[in-house]
Amino acid sequence: MYDPLEDIIDQKLDVSDETVRSLISLSKGDLFSDLPGEIPGEKEMLIEHFQTVIDAIIQGIVANPSKLWVFTIIQTALIEIDGEDTETKEHFGDHIEMIMDVLSIESSDGLLGHYL
């Protein structure tokens, strides 16, 4: 079975105290505020999955400053929301891209596209 992690071109990430502070700030921000909110519990579910991802990254990024490591964490959440509708997954992907921006990761090497 195909695993999109196999296509990740690993890179060492430059992680500073400021990077970690930015991730913490993102985690405390107004998450999924642009979600239409038509499906009961949808926003809460996405926030829970996103918090799990960003908390794991915050806890481990200094010891594991690797693009592959980050996407291994992200992939777990993407698999968990795989059954959601396209719009829901796109909103989740937008928030994952915010994490990527903080970590200066330019591409998911197809991983986001595979799941979203």
- The predicted-structure confidence for 42-97, as pLDDT tens digits, reads as follows 889 999 999 999 999 999 999 999 999 999 999 999 999 998 888 889 999 999 99
**Residue 63 domain flag:** yes
pLDDT tens digits, one per residue of 19-31: 999 999 999 999 9
Number of domains the chain contains:
1
**Residue 12 domain flag:** no
φ/ψ of residue 110, rounded to 5: 95, -10
**Residue 10 domain flag:** no
**Residue 65 domain flag:** yes
Q: Kindly state the tokens that stand for 105.
A: 């990761």
Confidence of residue 37 (pLDDT cuts 50, 70, 90): low
Expressed as residue numbers, the domain containing 71 is 50-116
**Residue 92 domain flag:** yes
Span 2-22, average pLDDT: 96
Threshold 0.85, pTM exceeds: yes
**Residue 43 domain flag:** no
CA distances from 90 to 45, 70, 107, 115 (A): 14, 19, 16, 10
**Residue 41 domain flag:** no
**Residue 39 domain flag:** no
Higher local confidence (pLDDT), 34 or 93: 93
Q: Kindly state the tokens that stand for 7.
A: 């296509």
31 half-sphere exposure, CB direction, 13 A CA radius? 24
